[in-house]
Amino acid sequence: MVSDMSVQDITTQDNRPSRDEAMKAVETLLRWAGEDPSREGLLETPKRVVKAYEEFFSGYNKDASAELQKTFEDIEGFDDMVLVKDIDFVSHCEHHLVPILGKAHVAYWPDEKVVGISKLARVVDIFGRRLVSQENMTRNILKCIDETLKPKGVAVYIDANHQCMSTRGVNKGASSTVTSMFCGVFKEDRDVQRRFLDMIHYSR
């Protein structure tokens, strides 16, 4: 089991700013950029940005492990990996607050608990809808599934485009970042790991 690092989970912030304070912060950034927040096209922008942030960062209000609590009792004798591939996600870089667009491939090898496949996608979304580094997101997805389902193993593979690289800085629009992490049978058995990698790269 993965137990050396804690999952970035829900935190309660007593000093969380009000909606009005957040909107005023957007106005400040607009002025800093050289704009006039009072002009016609920007009058509703602070309100829209705050509303968008509620959606972008909704993962802070959700518990990923809770999504995995409901398991199927009627599935018996299944002893192989369960893979959900090509899970689209949109996240945001914690260093520049710009989008990360990618796909996650998540597999686990059940022991006693079998969960609905949509729940694996929800776990990806919850951790994705926070400010992240891709490395931490990969680890947190794996750790959540490993600790909650206690399977024989978990594999997580993420391939994403970071707009902090493609639209600023080095401006490498065609680049992508790949991270992977394995535990249990996926780490100990190279044949199982290779089969996982072959399956996610197999063209349908």
- Strand 82-93 and strand 131-132: pairing? parallel
Torsion of Cα atoms, 160 then 131 then 108 then 180, to 10°:
40
Q: How far does CA 135 lie from the centroid of its chain? A: 10
Residue found by looking up tokens 């193993």 in the block: 153
Indicate if 201 belongs to the active site: no
Catalytic residue among 8, 92, 93, 105: 93
Asked if 172 and 190 touch (Cβ cutoff 8 Å), the reply is: no
Q: Which two tokens stand for residue 77?
A: 């004798």
Could you confirm whether 92 is annotated as catalytic? no
Q: Which of 67, 92, 105, 134 is catalytic?
A: 134
For 58-87, the three-class secondary structure string (H helix, E strand, C coil) is: HHHHCCHHHHHCCECCCCCCCCCCEEEEEE
162 is catalytic: yes
Determine the length of the chain: 204
Choosing from 35, 147, 163, 164, the catalytic residue is 164
Give catalytic status of residue 93 as yes or no: yes
Which of 27, 94, 147, 163 is an active site residue? 94
Terminal-residue alpha carbon distance, the chain: 32
Q: Catalytic: which of 27, 35, 96, 147?
A: 96
Catalytic (active site) residue 105: no
Catalytic residue among 95, 112, 135, 201: 95
Question: Which listed residue (8, 105, 144, 162) is catalytic?
Answer: 162
- How far apart (Å, rounded) are the C-alpha atoms in residues 1 and 146? 6
Active site residues: 93-96, 134, 162, 164
